[in-house]
Amino acid sequence: MPTNVKQLMEAANAAVERITPAKAKDLMAKGDTLVVDVRDPSEVENSGKVAGAVNVSRGMLEFRADPDLPTHDPNFTKDKTLILYCASGGRSALSGKTLKDMGYQRVYNLGGFKDWVEFGGPVDRGSGS
C-alpha cells in the first residue's frame, strides 16, 4: 500500500498508460472519447484547454464520474475512452488510476497541457473554457 506521494505516483504511472499527443489525437479521431482536463478552473481560464475537453478538477472527479451520484456528469460513461491531462502529468496520472479503480477500463494520461500545445493540438480559449 503506497504511503507517500512518490509511491502513489509510481502506482498511478504503472496503472495508467502515458500517451503522446499524436496518439491522443488518433484516439480522439476514432470518436467515443472523452478528454478531461483535471486542472483547477483558474488554470484553464488562464491558458485554455484541449479543444472539446471537459474541465473537471481533480477534487471533483469521483463525484462527476460516479453514475450513482446526483453530481454525475453524463459525459462519463464506462464505454468511452478517457484521456486525462493536467499541467505536467501528475494529477492526470493519479486521476486516471482513480477512474480505473472505479471501473473505467480505457483510461490514458496525456500528461501536461503544454505538451498538447507544443504538439500544435487545437485549443479552446476565452471565457467558458
Residue 129 has pLDDT above 50, yes or no: no
Q: Which fold has domain 5-121?
A: Oxidized Rhodanese; domain 1 (3.40.250)
pTM of the model: 0.93
Does 127 score more than 90 pLDDT?
A: no
The percent of residues above 90 in pLDDT, for the chain, comes to 94
What pLDDT sits at residue 15?
96
Tens digit of each residue's pLDDT (9 = 90 or more) over 37-93 = 999 999 999 999 999 999 999 999 999 999 999 999 999 999 999 999 999 999 999
Tally of helices (H runs) and strands (E runs) in the chain = 6, 7
> Which of 43, 129, 50 is closest to 83 using CA atoms?
50
* Rounded Cα gap, residues 109 and 96, in angstroms: 7
Task: List the domain boundaries for the chain.
Answer: 5-121
Whole-number pLDDT of residue 95: 98
Q: In the structure, what pLDDT confidence band is assigned to residue 17 with cuts at 50, 70 and 90?
A: very high
- Whole-angstrom CA distances from 55 to 45, 95, 108 are 10, 13, 16
Q: CA 42, CA 13: separation in Å to the nearest integer? A: 26
Q: How far apart are CA 30 and CA 33, in angstroms?
A: 8
Alpha-carbon gap, residue 99 to 52, rounded angstroms: 20
Cβ-based neighbour number of residue 62 at 10 Å? 16
Q: How confident is the model at residue 3 (pLDDT cuts 50, 70, 90)?
A: confident
